[in-house]
Amino acid sequence: MCLDSITSTFLDLCHLIHAKGLVSGSGGNVSMRWGDQILITPSGRSLESLQGDDLVFLHSDGCFRCKDGGKPSQEWRMHLACYQRRDVNVVVHVHSTHAVAIACSLDADPDYAIPVYTPGYCVRVGRLPILPYAMAGSVELANQVGQVIQSRNSVMLANHGILTVGATVEAALNLTEEIEDEAKLHLLLGGHGRPLTQEQQKALRGGYH
């Protein structure tokens, strides 16, 4: 994919994430693989207003360049950890309201952040773990996320948000929305929901298309 094409796709994704209400202010960050570099959102900027010159090109050693002089998101280590552990092309990290509410909940199960209520969520997300709190931008957080992303496409970060990865923009964004919708459903049910049984979940994972 040429630079103009990937830049356009990347900006469309950033603007769409903001338009869907998955981030606010300068929260959240996104990255996309381009050859041996990573295109990543700049620090301190809203995804809503980003333009091509604002984007940062990041190398695996942490070196970067940006036409307007910006710096990469403080979460750049976390993004690199995902690409180093998995052959994925897109990483999306958001602070969506309902998912963050779960991430801050005293009652959240660290192994199953959100009960599995719906077939789609069962198949595409399922058992969503919550990582213990670690400082945003820290090596500790990057290492924790990288270890989880080795074997799955999504994770919740305690008191922070969610992260998803995918082979395509659509895959990563769809997964983000799936988690946010299930989190909203769980909160609306107020503890009175009826999750799918383990048997039902097993059957779905074996034959859902």
pLDDT digits over 6-44, tens only? 999 999 999 999 999 999 999 999 999 999 999 999 999
Q: What CA–CA distance (Å, rounded) separates 38 from 10?
A: 11
Homologous superfamily (CATH) of 3-207 is Class II aldolase/adducin N-terminal domain (3.40.225.10)
Token output for 148: 């989880």
Rounded to whole angstroms, the maximal C-alpha distance in the chain is: 54
Residue-range domain boundaries for the chain: 3-207
Token output for 177: 């929305």
Q: Model confidence over 124-157: pLDDT tens digits?
A: 999 999 999 999 999 999 999 999 999 999 999 9
Is residue 209's pLDDT more than 50? no
Q: Model confidence over 157-170: pLDDT tens digits?
A: 999 999 999 999 99
- Which of 45, 42, 41 has the alpha carbon at shortest distance from 13? 41
148 Cβ contact list (under 8 Å, min separation 6): 129, 131, 155
Backbone angles phi, psi at 90, to 5 degrees: -140, 140
Question: Which residues are known to be catalytic?
Answer: 75
Percent of the chain with pLDDT over 90: 91
68 Cβ contact list (under 8 Å, min separation 6): 53, 54
206 C-beta neighbours (distance < 10 Å), count: 8
Is residue 1's pLDDT more than 80? no
CA 37 to centroid of chain Cα atoms = 19
Three-state secondary-structure class, residue 169? helix
Q: Model confidence over 168-191: pLDDT tens digits?
A: 999 999 999 999 999 999 999 998
